[in-house]
Amino acid sequence: MAPLQTVQKIGPVLDLFTVSRPEWGASEVAAAVNVPRSSAHALLSSLVETGLLQCRNRGRYRIGWRVVELSQTLKGTVDVRSCASPILQDLAHKYGETTHLAVMERYRVLYVDKVLGNHVINVAGARVGAHLEPHCSAVGKILLAQCDPGEIERNITNRPLRRLTPSTIANPAALAQELRSVLRAGYAFDTGEAVPEVHCVAAPVRDEMGVVVAAVSMSVPASRFVPAQKEFKNAVIAAGAAISRAITTSADAVVQTERDDPTVVAAS
C-alpha cells in the first residue's frame, strides 16, 4: 500500500480491536477492511513495530502497550475529564438525572465519562467508551455544529444517515439546518432521536482558547424532561461554562508550572 493509503487504514484496523473481540489474525483483518492479506500483514507488522499492536502466538494480534504510554501522555496534558468530573457529579446529584461528557473522535461521538442518576425510573445512558453517530444525539449536534459544512458533507452526510428512532434526523438538509440553530443557540436537544422516550440537552465545553473540545449533557425520561426543559437547559449550559472555566484554570496552572520549573529550557 502507498504511504497515504496505509495511514488511512490504521484507524479502521485499530477499531477492530474491542473488548468483545480483542484478538485478530491477518486474514480476518484483510477481510474486515477489504485489503489483500499481504497488505494487511504489512500494516499489522508496522503497527507492531510502533508498539500499537503486539503479535501473539500463531500470528494473532492484540493491542500493544504503547497505547498505555500514549494514554499517560494524554493525562499529562489538561485532562478534560478530570476537570468535568466534579461538575458532572454535582449536576447529577442536584437533579437526579444521568449526565454525560463526550468528545468527537473521527466524526463519531465518544463518551468519556458519565454519572448515573438516582431516580427509580432512570436513564442508563451510554457506557463510557461507547461510540455513537453524531447526528442523533444532543452531544453529537454540539460537536458537529463546530465543524466546517464541507467536513460534515465528506464525513457524515456522504452516506445515508442511520435512523435509530422515528424522531432521528435522517435528511442532510434538515441536519444542516439543525446544526445552524444549535450554533446560534449554544445548546442542543435530542428529543427521542437516539432512544425512544429519552430526551437530552447538551452544551459545549471550551478550552482556554475558546475552542469546543467536548460536550456535556443530561439524559432524562421524556415524562420528566418536557415539563422542566428550560430548567434542565439552563443547568447544562451552566455546567458547560463551569467545566470550561476549570479547563482554563488547569491550563494556566500547567503553564505557570512550566515557567517555574528550572529544568525547562526554552528552545533557541
129-138 pLDDT tens trace: 888 999 999 9
Q: Which of 48, 32, 45 is nearest to 1 (CA)?
A: 45
Q: What is the pLDDT of residues 109-151, one digit of tens each?
A: 999 999 999 998 889 888 898 889 999 999 999 999 998 888 8
Residue 266 has pLDDT above 60, yes or no: no
- In angstroms, rounded to a whole number, what is the distance separating the alpha carbons of residues 199 and 182? 16
The answer to whether the beta carbons of residues 100 and 113 sit under 8 Å apart is yes
Count how many residues are written for the chain. 268
Residues of the chain with CATH 1.10.10.10: 3-69
Residues of the chain with CATH 3.30.450.40: 77-256
The model's confidence at residue 264, banded by pLDDT at 50, 70 and 90, is very low
For the domain bounded by 77-256, which CATH number is listed? Answer: 3.30.450.40
Pick the CATH number of 3-69 from 2.130.10.30, 1.50.40.10, 3.40.50.920, 1.10.10.10: 1.10.10.10
Q: What is the pLDDT of residues 28-48, one digit of tens each?
A: 999 998 989 988 888 898 898
Q: Edge-to-edge, what's the strand order for the sheet holding 53-55? A: 24-25, 60-63, 53-55
Counts for the chain of helices (H) and strands (E), in that order: 10, 9
What 8-state DSSP symbol labels residue 20? S
Q: What are phi and psi of 33, to 5 degrees?
A: -105, 5
Question: How many other β-carbons are positioned within 10 Å of the β-carbon of residue 44?
Answer: 21
- In angstroms, rounded to a whole number, what is the distance separating the alpha carbons of residues 104 and 98? 20
